Amino acid sequence: MMDQAEALRKKLASMNDDNHPKTIAVISGKGGVGKSNLSLNFSIALSNYGKKVLLFDMDIGMGNIDILMGITAHHTIADLFEDNLTINDIIIKGTEGIDYIAGGNGLPNLFKLDDKKTEYLIDQLQLVLNEYDFVLFDMGAGMTEENVKFLMAMDEIFVITTPEPTSITDAYSAIKYICLFDQSIPMYLVVNRAENESDGLQTLKRLRQAVLQFLVKEVKILGVLLDDRTVQRAVSHQKPFLLYAPKAGISKNLLEICNKYLEKNNEQKLIRNQHISFISKLQRFFVRGR
Ligand X SMILES: Nc1ncnc2c1ncn2[C@@H]1O[C@H](COP(=O)(O)OP(=O)(O)O)[C@@H](O)[C@H]1O
Q: Which stretch binds ligand X (CB under 6 A): 7-15, 24-32, 254-262, 264-272?
A: 24-32
Exposure string of 141-160, with b = 16+ CB inside 10 Å and e = fewer, is bebeeebbbbbbbbbbbbbb
- Least separation in angstroms between residue 108's CB and Mg ion is 13
* 162 binding Mg ion? (CB under 5 A): no
Residue 23: count other Cβ atoms within 10 Å of its Cβ. Answer: 24
- Of 181-240, binders to ligand X (CB under 6 A) are 192-193, 225, 227-228, 231-232, 235
Which run of H or E residues covers position 8? helix 2-12
- Least separation in angstroms between residue 282's CB and Mg ion is 47
Partner whose binding site includes residue 231, from Mg ion, ligand X, none (CB under 5 to 8 Å by kind): ligand X
Chain length of the chain = 290
- Of 20-59, binders to Mg ion (CB under 5 A) are 35-36
| Residue closer to ligand X (CB basis): 21 or 34 | 34
Residue 115 to residue 207: CA distance in whole angstroms = 32
Cβ proximity of 21 and 132 under 8 Å: yes
- Least separation in angstroms between residue 35's CB and Mg ion is 5
Amino acid (1-letter code) at residue 229: R
Residue 244 to residue 241: CA distance in whole angstroms = 5
Binding site for ligand X (CB under 6 A): 28, 31-37, 192-193, 225, 227-228, 231-232, 235, 250
List interacting residues with Mg ion (CB under 5 A).
35-36
